[in-house]
A and B are shown apart, each in its own frame.
Chain A
Amino acid sequence: MRSKTSLFNGSIFRSNFSRFWPLWAAYLVLLLIIVPTSFTSSLRDELYNGYLSPTNMEIGVEFLQVMHPVGLILTAVFSVFAAMAVYSFMYSPRTTGLVASLPVKREGVFLTSWLSGYLCLAAAQAITAFVTILIAAVLGRNVTVYVLLWLAMQLLETLCFYGLASLCAVLTGTLLILPAIYAIFNFLFPVAQLLVHMILEPFVRGMSGASDLSLMFLSPFITLIRGGKIGFSYTLENGVETFAANGMPTVIYYAIAGVVMSVGALLIYRRRRMETAADIVAINALKPVFRYCMAFGFAITLGIVIYRLVFGGFTTPYNDAAVKESILPLIVSMLVAGFIGYFVAEMMIRKSFKVFDKWPGYVAFAVVIIALLLAVDADLFGYERFVPETEKVENATVSIQGYSVSTEDPGQIDALRSLHSVVIEDDTVIPDQPTSNLLIQYNLRSGRTVTRAYGINGNALKSTEDFLNRGDILLARNTFEHPVTPETAFYSSVDGYGPYDSNVYFDLTPSQTAEFYNTCVLPDLNEGKLGRAVLYTVPQPTEAAPETMYFNVNIVAMEENDDGNGTVWKDGRNYFITPEAERSFAFLQRSVPAATTEVQGENPVG
């Protein structure tokens, strides 16, 4: 008698569909309530409020801009619910026994369960897309392309999140642990990296807590929802509408990762012992991993709390070697928190409080933590002294007090390295003087990013000012990358600050802007009379010329994005213009229109 089972079993599929229908229905209803309303609200505004009629493309792009993140959140949430439903048989000895005794291979059970969950989610998305297109058509709009793009992204993102949820499902034998580890895996790596950086900031000079999260890509949720790689834009140029959807490759990569995780889940399920139903960790080999991850997780979370509350840590400036915090209280805090995490994990694994015979493992953890922290404190890894070699740097950015410059020029990168070395050597701040935050970032040719942050004053600040005012750096900071012409310039807004509180505000036309920029600003910049960074050398008040006026000019012109697509975008440069910048100052004085002058004092400008 041949079994009629294979890699797919219709009976299991139908059972999953019918037993968990409230879940699939809830997802569908939520989608149907939320998704079509995105563009119907735009049309309602048009109908009832008399707004300008948006084009189909405008509506479509707005739909994607709003509904992609909304759909993503729903997908992330319902993927784990779906996994909890279709893999629920793994978590009770009773249902585990039922399914394992069936004449269906494990591959068949897993793949059928996987497929039933994925298809039910996908069906809800497809129905929603269909209904959305239909409603749009009834309202006389054709948004099919955009809705189908939304659907494609949803289907791919569901592959990613559902794959992750499937992997989490086979790692544990307890239903309620599944969403917990799913959430942890979604945020674990960047959050852990952030916490480690935060912990080490007071002890490692140059470490920046928030700006160097290279592990962000390991969080699918964060990357897909705010990674800056997925976006939809609409432009109207000379009556031609253009639509751009960036980030599809990113979505595809994460979908592939989801498929890989699903295959991994299948391979693990094939080896999974059925007697582990109801265990916290279903895979024996992962029990030590769970124990040490819990110990480390507690060390970097509860450890911070203990260090702050008990030892009053994280209170001194991270850059100041003279008052650098002792690392010993941090070690104690992390060891205490790690102890709790380690043995709580063991209690969860054994479901017993008799766990302290596992002390050798904790001792090993403690030794590693002590060694690592002491090594970091002594900079044995060379983190504090590290300055990348010029030829390995693709581009570099430095920013301080609102001044910022990015460069790919080897000479400028070399100059930045010299500045960086000065900052590293000058590792004390002058007491009772404010510090400025200096951020240096190197993007290396290897793809790695090196970010350092320092609080500096005194000599280091002076060196930074000198660097920013270097001729070529000054130009790089203050000029547009592309020519400013009457065609590419938008406008210049000018704020004039005169004596006796007399201020003027006016705009320059595009042609005035181009003339001002090319004939006045550029020559003044070249002569170093304009655009100088003021960090250390504070200019003295010009008492000799009390009636002198200053102008703050913001020039807005078109730039091309460097994404290779020639995308046009607006960019602005700000200039503080004093009489020293003779050409620019004279131009603006000539341009002050009497009609726009606001007189606030007794002596009007002019």
Chain B
Amino acid sequence: MIEVKNVVKVFDGFRALDEISINVPKGAIYGLVGPNGAGKSTLIRHLAGIYRQNAGEILIDGQPVYENPDIKSRVAYIPDEIFYFVQSGIKDMMRYYRGIYPGFDMDRYDKLRSVFKLDEKRPMRRLSRGMQKQAAFWLALSMRPDVLILDEPVDGLDPVMRRQIWSLILGDVEENGTTVLVSSHNLRELEDVCDHVGIIHKGRTMIEHALADLQDNIVKVQVVFNDGSSLPEGMNVLHESKSGKITTLIIRGRADEVTNAIEAAQPLFYDVVPLTLEEVFIYELGGADYAVKDIFI
């Protein structure tokens, strides 16, 4: 559905995107994660057709996005900082989008009014950040997009509204096969909704997997070894820490393979648990020189 192939973007000599590639299947909810400055928002602006890449391809359904109104009319984009005209209220923006997006659904807009309960005539600049986000979702979902691109979408929203909005999005995914690409630092939330994850760092893709595969491929083991016994040879340990007799290991490998290997060492106690997305993010980036440093000031 969405294909980014070796895209390069240079800003005044700085390579913000450095031959980055991602692949988002149709109907997927794809979490794009990465540290600050990794290039997430830059990549998203390319996907929205705002920026033009220096090299590479950005395709949706096999067609380039840039300067392609047919494709862009099927894409709704909610940026980190909401777009609106200074004097305009939600109703003004609705009229504006309705005249531009052929798929804009007035029935849905009317139905969503009861969900968001916002003053449509009030200038958007007078709405709080959270209300502006709600307005953006109201308008975006009314477009009935095939592709929904969200950059830090739920920042500023209260927990109830977050759940409400995710519920609407997931409903669209289920009913219409909408493809969603979402960038966020709230990895616990992404873990709940995403089925695919891409981690990018310094403008490059580090990892891209289905979330289940990603979590299956790396495990956390808490183990207490007998005197004289130790971890079997050949295990790919990403991180090791010790607290008393308990050793905590982050090991790359499938849970069943790691379990078998640990059992073979006959420890006094062991427990193999899947990693959260946040842990995957931290340990993967640790290997890419982005670890939490023990700094004493």
Which A residues are closer than 8 A to B by beta carbons? 1-5, 9-12, 14-15, 18-19, 93-98, 100-106, 108, 273-275
Tell me the chain B residues, 65-88 only, with Cβ under 8 Å from chain A.
Answer: 67, 69-75, 77, 79, 81-85, 87-88
**Contact A5:B100 (CB < 8 A) given known A103-B73, A106-B67:** yes
Contact B79 A12 (CB under 8 A): no
Kindly provide the distance from the CB of A441 to the nearest chain B CB, expressed in whole angstroms.
Answer: 51
Q: Is B98 an interface residue (CB 8 A)?
A: yes
Residues of B within 8 A of A104 (CB): 69, 100
Kindly provide the distance from the CB of B70 to the nearest chain A CB, expressed in whole angstroms.
Answer: 5
Residues of B within 8 A of A11 (CB): 95-100
Question: Which B residue's beta carbon lies closest to that of A96?
Answer: B50
Residues of A within 8 A of B97 (CB): 11
Q: Is B101 an interface residue (CB 8 A)?
A: yes
Kindly provide the distance from the CB of A85 to the nearest chain B CB, expressed in whole angstroms.
Answer: 12
Residues of B within 8 A of A102 (CB): 72, 100
Q: Is B51 an interface residue (CB 8 A)?
A: yes
Kindly provide the distance from the CB of B133 to the nearest chain A CB, expressed in whole angstroms.
Answer: 14
Contact A1 B70 (CB under 8 A): yes
Residues of A within 8 A of B69 (CB): 3, 5, 103-105, 108
A sample of 13 cross-chain residue pairs with beta-carbon separation below 8 angstroms, ordered by A number, consists of A1-B102, A12-B96, A95-B85, A97-B83, A100-B48, A102-B72, A103-B69, A103-B75, A104-B69, A104-B100, A105-B69, A108-B69, A274-B51
Question: Which A residue's beta carbon lies closest to that of B79?
Answer: A97
Question: Which A residue's beta carbon lies closest to that of B103?
Answer: A1
Q: Majority SS of interface residues in chain B?
A: loop
- Over the window 92-110 of chain B, the binary record of Cβ atoms lying under 8 Å from chain A Cβ atoms (1 yes, 0 no) is 1001111111110000000
Kindly provide the distance from the CB of B68 to the nearest chain A CB, expressed in whole angstroms.
Answer: 8
Q: Is B52 an interface residue (CB 8 A)?
A: yes
Contact B96 A100 (CB under 8 A): no
Residues of A within 8 A of B5 (CB): none
Q: Is B49 an interface residue (CB 8 A)?
A: yes
**Contact A14:B99 (CB < 8 A) given known A273-B51, A274-B51:** yes
Q: Is B45 an interface residue (CB 8 A)?
A: yes
Which B residues are closer than 8 A to A by beta carbons? 11, 45, 48-52, 67, 69-75, 77, 79, 81-85, 87-88, 92, 95-103
Kindly provide the distance from the CB of B176 to the nearest chain A CB, expressed in whole angstroms.
Answer: 13
Question: Which B residue's beta carbon lies closest to that of A271?
Answer: B52
Kindly provide the distance from the CB of B147 to the nearest chain A CB, expressed in whole angstroms.
Answer: 12
Kindly provide the distance from the CB of B45 to the nearest chain A CB, expressed in whole angstroms.
Answer: 7
In the complex the two chains form, what is the Cα distance from A274 to B48 in whole Å?
12
Contact B48 A101 (CB under 8 A): yes
Contact A97 B50 (CB under 8 A): yes
In the complex the two chains form, what is the Cα distance from A2 to B103 in whole Å?
9
Contact A103 B51 (CB under 8 A): no
In the complex the two chains form, what is the Cα distance from A595 to B173 in whole Å?
111
In the complex the two chains form, what is the Cα distance from A9 to B73 in whole Å?
14
Question: Which B residue's beta carbon lies closest to that of A350?
Answer: B12
Contact B87 A1 (CB under 8 A): no
Kindly provide the distance from the CB of A184 to the nearest chain B CB, expressed in whole angstroms.
Answer: 25
Residues of A within 8 A of B83 (CB): 94-95, 97-98, 101
Residues of A within 8 A of B77 (CB): 101
Kindly provide the distance from the CB of B120 to the nearest chain A CB, expressed in whole angstroms.
Answer: 16
Contact B84 A98 (CB under 8 A): yes
Contact A2 B51 (CB under 8 A): no
In addition to A15-B92, A100-B50, A103-B73, 20 A-B residue pairs with Cβ atoms within 8 Å of each other are A3-B70, A3-B102, A11-B100, A12-B96, A12-B99, A12-B100, A19-B88, A93-B81, A94-B83, A95-B83, A95-B85, A96-B50, A97-B50, A98-B85, A101-B72, A101-B75, A104-B100, A105-B67, A108-B69, A274-B50
In the complex the two chains form, what is the Cα distance from A100 to B47 in whole Å?
11
**Contact A9:B50 (CB < 8 A) given known A94-B81, A106-B67:** no
Residues of B within 8 A of A18 (CB): 92
* Residue of A12, A97, A273 with most chain B CB atoms under a 10 A cut-off: A97
Residues of A within 8 A of B88 (CB): 19
Q: Which of A3, A15, A98, A275 contacts B51, CB < 8 Å?
A: A275
Residues of A within 8 A of B81 (CB): 93-94
Residues of B within 8 A of A4 (CB): 102
Kindly provide the distance from the CB of A354 to the nearest chain B CB, expressed in whole angstroms.
Answer: 14
Question: Which B residue's beta carbon lies closest to that of A18?
Answer: B92
In the complex the two chains form, what is the Cα distance from A14 to B77 in whole Å?
23
Residues of A within 8 A of B85 (CB): 15, 19, 95, 98
In the complex the two chains form, what is the Cα distance from A5 to B104 in whole Å?
14
Question: Which B residue's beta carbon lies closest to that of A11?
Answer: B99
In the complex the two chains form, what is the Cα distance from A398 to B70 in whole Å?
69
Residues of A within 8 A of B50 (CB): 96-97, 100-101, 274
Residues of A within 8 A of B102 (CB): 1-4
Residues of B within 8 A of A95 (CB): 83, 85
Residues of A within 8 A of B70 (CB): 1-3, 103
Kindly provide the distance from the CB of B39 to the nearest chain A CB, expressed in whole angstroms.
Answer: 13
* Residue of A12, A96, A102, A106 with most chain B CB atoms under a 10 A cut-off: A102
Q: Which of B67, B74, B99 contacts A1, CB < 8 Å?
A: B74
Kindly provide the distance from the CB of B89 to the nearest chain A CB, expressed in whole angstroms.
Answer: 12
Question: Which B residue's beta carbon lies closest to that of A20?
Answer: B87
Question: Which A residue's beta carbon lies closest to that of B101?
Answer: A103
In the complex the two chains form, what is the Cα distance from A19 to B123 in whole Å?
12
Q: Which of A10, A100, A108 contacts B99, CB < 8 Å?
A: A10
Kindly provide the distance from the CB of A14 to the nearest chain B CB, expressed in whole angstroms.
Answer: 7
